[in-house]
Chain A
């Protein structure tokens, strides 16, 4: 972040320019922490020419060092836990996390399994949840749009509090998207 050494009007301009650049160029990295691949296929579909997310400046990056947004799918398994944390730690600030799919929200059908840590937000501060099993590409794009809208207003998206109590709580806590259960 910029240090507070400039006078305030220049500081404001700088903040505005960096915020504008950040909103217009969200580079993503995709991490599968134990998903059944349903959500991953949907994320790949989002990146195809049909939806063409390069229109919004979204680019899939291979290296966590180049990415701004971590798109996570699946419940966090005990095996994938460390890899997920390392990937997140390798990303430079400012960084954001989007959890995609029912399993990423809470563990989904794997909720309570012996080899599952839980949803993504058990480990990382999730900014946007995209519910669905799997969510449609439009839903994933909408999730990114929600994140960018919140950034435009100069804040992180409101974290969604989930007080537990089964899957129903998760399904109602989404971002207003129609849930797409097969």
Chain B
């Protein structure tokens, strides 16, 4: 589906800005509610993420001793901006991406990595030992999941013969669902998304039982709210990317809601089912199993394409 809006609306209302933030909050609620139901709880109310965000925005912001002030205030803004930028390149709610060019898959993925990078920097900026450990773990995890996640998204890109997200989306919509054609790639992409979002089996970077709140320990008020919003936006963009590539493309808003929510259901189930991995276990899992599986999938795709042309 196509939708033409004036650029200022595209940036501020739909699909950037307001829409992205609002849907991020809704998906955060859906995630928390699903986890609560899996744990036999009732779970938060629908307005909960909004109340959390507004409260944090209205709270006092403490600048801890020993931080670089400019970085301390700029990093949350950069984090949210990077996440919102990535939103312009993905087919949100089934419409064509607001901006699109050859190779925007790489841009979208690296805009999402900037969010993690700023969180690492924010942790390293303070002199709190918990923040420092959290920052180290955040960056270690970034280096472990990033390559397998990228490789797993390259599978559909190679199959479609393009690195443009909107074209891969169209390709996925016209062919057999790639979750059937490339099951290993889907598995790696799904687990990679959980690593990217630091969801429970991979939440060593913010392990509250060990290192208080990881890299975010010293942030209060506005900065923390912006980082949380960035995380929510990252959640919805990640879900959109994986469901557009592997679950048969996103052609209209209904398809978008159904497919991303189905994916979120699986994510919530995995979050509930597994306990936290140590950071060395996370790295080991990614480089021993994740990267290997993604490479096997890539080789299979390349072989399949070449053999197909020979015979």
| Chain A residues, Cβ within 8 Å of B39 | 49
B208 adjacent to A92 (CB under 8 Å):
no
| Chain A residues, Cβ within 8 Å of B41 | 49, 52, 54-55
B44 adjacent to A22 (CB under 8 Å):
no
B224 adjacent to A57 (CB under 8 Å):
no
| Chain A residues, Cβ within 8 Å of B32 | 54
| Chain A residues, Cβ within 8 Å of B213 | 61-63, 65-66
A168 close to chain B: CB less than 8 A: no
1/0 per residue B199-221: CB within 8 Å of A?
00000000011001100111111
What is the predominant secondary structure among interface residues of chain B facing chain A? Answer: loop
Query: How far is A61 from B130 in the complex, measured between Cα atoms in Å?
Result: 14
Contact A93/B51 with A54-B41, A62-B213, A63-B217 known, Cβ cut-off 8 Å: no
Query: How far is A57 from B219 in the complex, measured between Cα atoms in Å?
Result: 20
A164 close to chain B: CB less than 8 A: no
Query: How far is A17 from B53 in the complex, measured between Cα atoms in Å?
Result: 12
B254 close to chain A: CB less than 8 A: no
A94 close to chain B: CB less than 8 A: yes
B51 adjacent to A49 (CB under 8 Å):
no
| Chain A residues, Cβ within 8 Å of B54 | 17-18, 20-21, 25
| Chain B residues, Cβ within 8 Å of A63 | 130, 212-213, 216-218
Quote the shortest CB–CB distance from A101 to chain B (angstroms): 23
A92 adjacent to B60 (CB under 8 Å):
yes
A115 close to chain B: CB less than 8 A: no
Q: Which of B43, B61, B224 contacts A52 (CB 8 A)?
A: B43
A127 close to chain B: CB less than 8 A: no
Count of A-B residue pairs with CB < 8 Å: 89
Interface residues of B in 16-69 (CB under 8 A from A): 32, 36, 39-45, 47-48, 50-55, 58-62
Contact A25/B55 with A54-B32, A57-B48, A65-B62 known, Cβ cut-off 8 Å: yes
| Chain B residues, Cβ within 8 Å of A79 | none
A40 close to chain B: CB less than 8 A: no
Contact A49/B52 with A61-B213, A65-B219, A92-B221 known, Cβ cut-off 8 Å: no
| Chain B residues, Cβ within 8 Å of A68 | 55, 59
Smallest CB gap from B61: residue in A: A92
Interface residues of A in 14-35 (CB under 8 A from B): 17-18, 20-22, 24-25, 27
A25 adjacent to B217 (CB under 8 Å):
no
Quote the shortest CB–CB distance from B161 to chain A (angstroms): 47
| Chain A residues, Cβ within 8 Å of B42 | 52, 54-55
| Chain A residues, Cβ within 8 Å of B130 | 63
Query: How far is A94 from B218 in the complex, measured between Cα atoms in Å?
Result: 17
| Chain A residues, Cβ within 8 Å of B58 | 2, 18, 21-22
B44 adjacent to A62 (CB under 8 Å):
no
Query: How far is A55 from B47 in the complex, measured between Cα atoms in Å?
Result: 11
B212 adjacent to A57 (CB under 8 Å):
no
A54 adjacent to B44 (CB under 8 Å):
yes
Quote the shortest CB–CB distance from A123 to chain B (angstroms): 20
Residue among B47, B51, B216, B224 facing the most chain A CB atoms (10 A cut-off): B51
A65 adjacent to B217 (CB under 8 Å):
yes
Quote the shortest CB–CB distance from B118 to chain A (angstroms): 18
| Chain A residues, Cβ within 8 Å of B212 | 62-63
Query: How far is A179 from B61 in the complex, measured between Cα atoms in Å?
Result: 39
27 A-B pairs, CB-CB below 8 angstroms?
A18-B54, A18-B55, A18-B58, A21-B50, A21-B53, A52-B41, A52-B42, A54-B32, A54-B36, A54-B42, A55-B42, A55-B44, A55-B45, A57-B45, A61-B213, A63-B130, A63-B213, A63-B217, A65-B217, A65-B224, A66-B224, A68-B55, A68-B59, A92-B59, A92-B60, A92-B62, A93-B59
Given A62-B217, A92-B221, 16 additional A-B pairs, CB 8 A: A17-B54, A18-B58, A21-B55, A24-B51, A24-B55, A27-B52, A52-B36, A52-B41, A52-B43, A55-B45, A57-B45, A61-B208, A63-B218, A65-B217, A66-B224, A94-B60
By Cβ-Cβ distance, the 3 closest A-B pairs, closest first, are A21-B54, A24-B51, A92-B60
Q: Which residues of A contact B (CB under 8 A)?
A: 2, 17-18, 20-22, 24-25, 27, 49, 52, 54-55, 57, 61-63, 65-66, 68, 90, 92-94
